[in-house]
Amino acid sequence: MIDNKVDSFLRNLMSDGVPKETQKMVMGLSRWGKQALVNIYDKNSDFAKRAAIEENVHRFAVDTSKHLKIYHYTKVGSLIKILSSGSFLISSSTLMNDPDEFKWANKIGKEYLRKTGANESEVAAFQEMIDLQPFKDSYIWSFTKNDDSLTLYNVYGLNEQNIKEGVALEFDLNTVMHTLASRNANGKNSLDEFEDGDAYTFPIQVQYDENLQKEYVNPIVEEWLYAYRSCMDDPNDMHEIMVLCAKAMYLFNMAFKNPDLCHEEELRFVTVKIGDNVNKLNASYSPRIRCKITKEFILSAKLQTGNYYSVADLKEILAKYGYNNVQVKQSRLPY
């Protein structure tokens, strides 16, 4: 019954102007190849609804037109370096604390492949597709809407001697987005104008819900498997399908994280670099991009409870570098 519906859909699809040779090739495809084509052209298929890149970007995006307060957690020692240099260094996605960073959707995908009966060579081919993605030169600046997080202080606020130095820096969402987008674009106003050395930036609200993650990843992975198994019979269509799957997985790897990390409540600005030179420092060792800041960029600073530095200490540090309008606060947390 399902095969009949698939064949009927494809015949109707090819009813106008499709050469007989193409029709014969399509109708001679395996059930996997046929289903892959149906999933592409049937706008109501799970794949079509989950693979639309533009819609997904909006689905997981943060509305940066709003002037919301967002917070970045770091150490006072790191803040001193930021103030003295007048810039933040934003790390490559390959340097994140989470070992599954930019890999979580891929991990879900490989688990689903095995559940659907994919063999290990197919799983390896899927991994190769992930490894060869063209957007790997990406950088993440992480924030949260939580202004006083015990977990984030403990993760990002302890120095090398395990002494508390944590500080939550307050920013304006709209200002951060405008600053990153305009400076990384090097004055370009449209993506059509971008070239090597430029970069584009977009904001994402990280998704931790496991059911939502699988709802998006599984149809993409299934479609990729159908196309991979049929690429010898219809290389052009199946290659195009696999490219669409790769793009979708790239976005999901940026937007999805381990549900066990949901306490981070992370929103992130992702910068994707074109070419080889967007203010990169020490590229051979520790790839980062630089975001220059003004004296008005940091709005407030909240010190972790039990901090080595006092409120007076931090005010003095800020004043030394001309940041006289930053409000310094003490955490409300008991410890």
Share of the chain above pLDDT 90, in %: 71
- Residue 260 is encoded by which pair of tokens? 């066990």
Farthest CA pair distance, the chain: 81
pLDDT at 267: 96
Q: Within 13 Å of residue 135, how many CA atoms lie on the same side as its CB? A: 19
Q: In the structure, what pLDDT confidence band is assigned to residue 288 with cuts at 50, 70 and 90? A: confident
Q: What is the pLDDT of residues 86-113, one digit of tens each?
A: 999 988 776 666 677 788 999 999 999 9
The reported pLDDT for the residue numbered 159 is 95
pLDDT at 128: 93
> Any idea of the CA torsion for 70, 74, 77, 80, to the nearest 10 degrees?
-20
Among residues 218, 331, 234, the alpha carbon closest in space to that of 26 is found at 234
Could you tell me if 116 and 108 are in contact, meaning their C-beta atoms sit under 8 angstroms apart?
no
What is the reported pTM? 0.87
Helices (runs of H) and strands (runs of E) counted in the chain: 13, 10
